[in-house]
């Protein structure tokens, strides 16, 4: 397994095991298979586990497999979806969420703690779900005035090694955060050949994921690439029911040409999509959404095969899928 430097976390594997599939929030998966997949990921050379309380059973499964003693060199993240509560509650909510995560993980600290909310500039209006934005998005004034100081305190206390943001919010707000005096240590950024966040995107403006990743790297911030297969849109078939107008379903239809190209090459589109993400500029590690050992083995084989050939990347880019939608 190749490695890269992820900001202050130092060397990590180029693949990160995400917690969604392991935690049983999508697709069919048993507890035994989830536990076996966690163990297989470590055996396969993965040294970063990306957990969160909203990933259902993920943190408890990690606690059960490792019993509070992560293998040497293995690092772990967790998250909190804060939204925009009263300013006086921000620090307490972040700390309470961290407490619950540490209890489930059976640990006394995590290496990285993410603000998992969107971030929006004050006064911003979302194209979708604006009436509920306080539930899923954190305003800039709250981020700057309360979140950043709270994260820095947790780091100074040694309860977290570093902190980060999930960069799927309004691009202008994310870029501002990456330029802020007190910058996050790591950002999670969309990294797929469509430059698409799919159903996670609530704003009307063009997505700017490659600009976000480039800005982060220029400022010494680590970058974790997420949604390499865009919620299944870049695979042979989405593994969960979706409405006809769901953006992930729309992306799946748009990616028909990509699947046809992979068929010509005799390649599985999910493997090709992961290799594409691994070859993208400014991405330190790619987070996997796998839920079982078979899917994990595919991704491990893809990483071992190395980046796509330049001609393959050019052929994919020529499909014109990486455009604002």
DSSP for 257-279, please give it: HHHHHHHHHT--HHHHHHHHHHT
SS3 helix, strand, coil % of the chain, rounded to 5?
A: 45, 15, 40
pLDDT of residue 237: 83
Residue 325: predicted pLDDT: 53
Closest CA to 191 of 231, 228, 232, 229: 228
For residue 27, the Cα-to-chain-centroid distance in whole angstroms is 18
CA–CA distance, 118 with 203 (Å, rounded to integer): 10
**Which residue blocks in 31-143 are alpha helix, DSSP H?**
31-43, 58-66, 90-105, 133-136, 140-142
CA dist list (Å): 224 to 54, 77, 248, 273: 19, 11, 21, 16
Nearest to 138 by CA among 129, 150, 146, 128: 146
Pairing of strands 48-50, 11-13: unpaired
CATH no. of 3-317: 3.20.20.100
| Full pLDDT tens readout for the chain, 325 residues | 999 999 999 999 999 999 988 887 777 789 999 999 999 999 999 999 999 999 989 999 999 999 999 999 999 999 999 999 999 999 999 999 999 999 999 999 999 999 999 999 999 999 999 999 999 999 999 999 999 999 999 999 999 999 999 999 999 999 999 999 999 999 999 999 999 999 899 999 989 999 999 999 999 999 999 999 999 999 998 877 778 888 899 999 999 999 999 999 999 999 999 999 999 999 999 999 999 999 999 999 999 999 999 999 999 999 999 876 5
Question: For 147, which DSSP code?
Answer: I
Both tokens of 151, joined, read 């994260």
CA 241/CA 97 separation, integer angstroms: 30
CB contact set of 80 (below 8 Å; sequence gap of 6+): 53, 93, 94, 97, 98, 113, 114, 115, 116
Taking a C-beta distance cutoff of 8 angstroms, is the pair 309, 52 a contact? Answer: no
Closest CA relative to residue 289, chosen from 71, 25, 33, 56 = 25
């Amino acid at each position: 397994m190749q490695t890269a430097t992820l900001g202050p976390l130092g060397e990590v594997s180029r693949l990160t095991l995400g917690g969604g599939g392991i935690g049983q929030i999508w697709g069919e998966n048993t507890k035994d298979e989830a536990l076996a997949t966690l163990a297989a990921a470590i055996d396969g050379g993965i040294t970063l586990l990306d957990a969160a309380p909203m990933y259902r059973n993920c943190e408890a499964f990690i606690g059960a497999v490792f019993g509070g003693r992560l293998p040497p060199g293995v690092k772990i993240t967790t998250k909190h979806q804060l939204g925009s509560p009263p300013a006086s509650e921000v620090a307490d909510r972040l700390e309470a969420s961290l407490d619950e995560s540490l209890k489930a993980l059976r640990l006394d600290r995590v290496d990285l703690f993410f603000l998992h909310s969107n971030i929006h500039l004050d006064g911003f209006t979302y194209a979708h779900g604006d009436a509920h934005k306080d539930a899923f998005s954190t305003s800039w004034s709250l981020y700057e005035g309360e979140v950043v100081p709270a994260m820095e305190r947790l780091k100074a206390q040694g309860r977290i090694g570093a902190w980060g943001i999930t960069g799927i919010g309004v691009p202008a707000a994310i870029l501002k955060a990456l330029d802020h005096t007190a910058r996050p240590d790591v950002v999670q950024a969309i990294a797929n050949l469509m430059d698409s966040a799919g159903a996670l995107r609530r704003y009307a403006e063009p997505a700017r994921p490659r600009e976000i990743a480039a800005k982060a790297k220029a400022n010494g911030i680590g970058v974790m690439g997420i949604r390499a297969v865009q919620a299944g849109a870049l695979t042979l078939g989405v593994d969960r029911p979706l409405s006809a107008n769901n953006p992930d379903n729309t992306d799946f239809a748009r990616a028909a040409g990509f699947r046809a190209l992979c068929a010509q090459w005799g390649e599985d589109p999910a493997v090709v999509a992961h290799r594409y993400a691994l070859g993208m500029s400014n991405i330190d590690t790619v987070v996997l959404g796998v839920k079982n050992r078979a899917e994990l083995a595919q991704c491990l084989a893809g990483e071992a095969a190395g980046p796509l050939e330049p001609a393959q990347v050019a052929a994919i880019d020529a499909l014109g899928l990486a455009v604002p939608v």
